[in-house]
């Protein structure tokens, strides 16, 4: 991508796309490794710009991860990955869900 750095909107868009691509390259394989480690399979993963969440998991097992996870310490990112993968077993935040998270 090239262009004038004076175009703030274009720079913002370009940086956002770059960050999303970098996050996808890092977070997708990491989620796969954690999934295999804990035997918590998921259907698909998508990296996006979420405004209020670090991640989410649909009832069909689609995990969405926030690209800004790249700015967190690795142990917090790993916690988010485990948390979202536990939603493939319990799709709520009930006591049973939190027991599942603690087990992992």
Tens digits of residue pLDDT in 58-87: 999 999 999 999 999 999 999 999 999 999
Is pLDDT at 33 greater than 60 in this prediction?
A: yes
pLDDT interval class at 15 (50, 70, 90): confident
pLDDT of res. 59: 94
The pLDDT of 8-22, averaged and rounded, is 89
Instruction: Spell out the long-range contacts of 88-97 with Cβ–Cβ below 8 A and sequence spacing 24 or more.
Output: 88/40, 88/41, 88/42, 88/57, 88/61, 89/40, 91/57, 91/59
pLDDT of res. 3: 63
pLDDT of res. 1: 52
pTM: 0.88
pLDDT of res. 6: 82
Nearest CA to 89 out of 52, 67, 66, 63 is that of 63
């Amino acid at each position: 991508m090239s262009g004038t750095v004076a175009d703030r909107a274009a720079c913002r868009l370009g940086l956002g796309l770059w960050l999303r691509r970098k996050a996808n390259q890092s977070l997708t394989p990491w989620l796969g490794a954690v999934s295999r480690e804990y035997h918590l399979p998921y259907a698909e993963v998508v990296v996006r710009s979420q405004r209020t969440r670090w991640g989410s998991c649909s009832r069909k097992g689609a995990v969405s991860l926030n690209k800004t996870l790249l700015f967190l310490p690795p142990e917090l990112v790993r916690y988010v990955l485990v948390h979202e993968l536990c939603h493939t077993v319990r799709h709520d935040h009930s006591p049973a869900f939190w027991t599942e998270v603690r087990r992992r």
